[in-house]
Structure 1
Amino acid sequence: MALQDRLRSSVIASNPRPPVFRTVAGLDSAYDEQGNVVAAIVVLDARTLEPVETVTARGTTDFPYVPGLLAFRELPTTLTALEKLTVTPDLLVCDSQGLAHPRRFGFACHLGLLTGLPSIGVAKNAWGEFDPPGDERGAFSAITLDGDEVGRALRTRTDVKPVFVSIGHLIDIETACAQVLSLTPQYRQPETTRLADRLCRQLLKELPA
């Protein structure tokens, strides 16, 4: 928690230069009760959403599950997978929180700082307060913590539960939401997340009993 508090001030919640996202990577992790961890990264062409590269890694952890400390459980195996990439993604899309976190330093922030790459968190559930956005695709509302906006509830499908977008590093919230909408032509979750999640589930099934 102290490390998160210390690193939080290093997050850059803006675009240092005009963003060009040619490739976008989805990252996901999963683990079992024995402490086995699997990580998957799927890099897509940002225009066609076709896969460019896929890598996986397996590891172990003895760090317990503690809400708000997800990065310390999953980052080591994720970084092992990242080192296998031959393509450097222009954007990292994490199935986790960024600034929308009790210490405003979720997994997406931690990963963005470690890699120096633009990163965002796209979570299935909100951490913070928000009003439901409009029902149409593209509608959004602010997620707040202690009165400060830390993310947005973004409707990616009309009349479907929103996703919860927050900045990780080196990107602003408007650009982050625009990228999420471009990655959700058919489903609620970004294609990056869907593919990485599917691969993680497969890897868990392949682990020895």
Structure 2
Amino acid sequence: MAKVTLTAFTTLDGVVQAPGGPDEDRDGGFEHGGWLAPYVDEDMNRFVLEAFRTATGLLLGRRTYQIFAAHWPQVTDADYPIAGRLNALPKYVASRTLEKTEWHNSTLLTGDAVKEVAELKERLEGELQIHGSGNLAHSLMAHGLIDEYRLMVFPVLLGTGKRLFADGTAPAALDVVDSRTTGAGGAIHVYRPAGRPEYGLVGS
């Protein structure tokens, strides 16, 4: 069985929208695109490279797929050490609007994304990674299909924008399996689901 992991850049107030550039995602009139840029450093890049090296496949929503497909085919290992691996990896794209995928080794998932990802988990081995792809992530979280969260939290507040853990997220406890900081002030935390939260009375 494959493991599904989610890697995300997030602000301190939980916004994951358009970290990479002003025009990455302007949905809802979002004006803060590119907020990640001041915090990109060697520590962050090292963690991202570590994550990509463990992938045996990618799970992507339409928007993230289109961003990746427009960029990575033009990049080589001489530019970024993991580019060749990303271009070669199997890529599973959840979309009801795309008619075809042109990035090498991409497969379009046109049916129910939750059902298709559940079937991929059963059929495949290794690690299927989600990057970006907020709508897909929300659907898979709601059905308990994410096995590990790799969150890079940066010291910036935006107040508006799409959030990874939006209102209506199912209550869940998480175990911390790794934690580190970056030189630019980012906090990297790796979590695994640990069942339902426990409740009690503080001080009793």
- Relative to the length of structure 1, the TM-score reads 0.31
Task: Say which structure, 1 or 2, has more relative contact order (CA 8 Å, 6+ apart).
Answer: 2
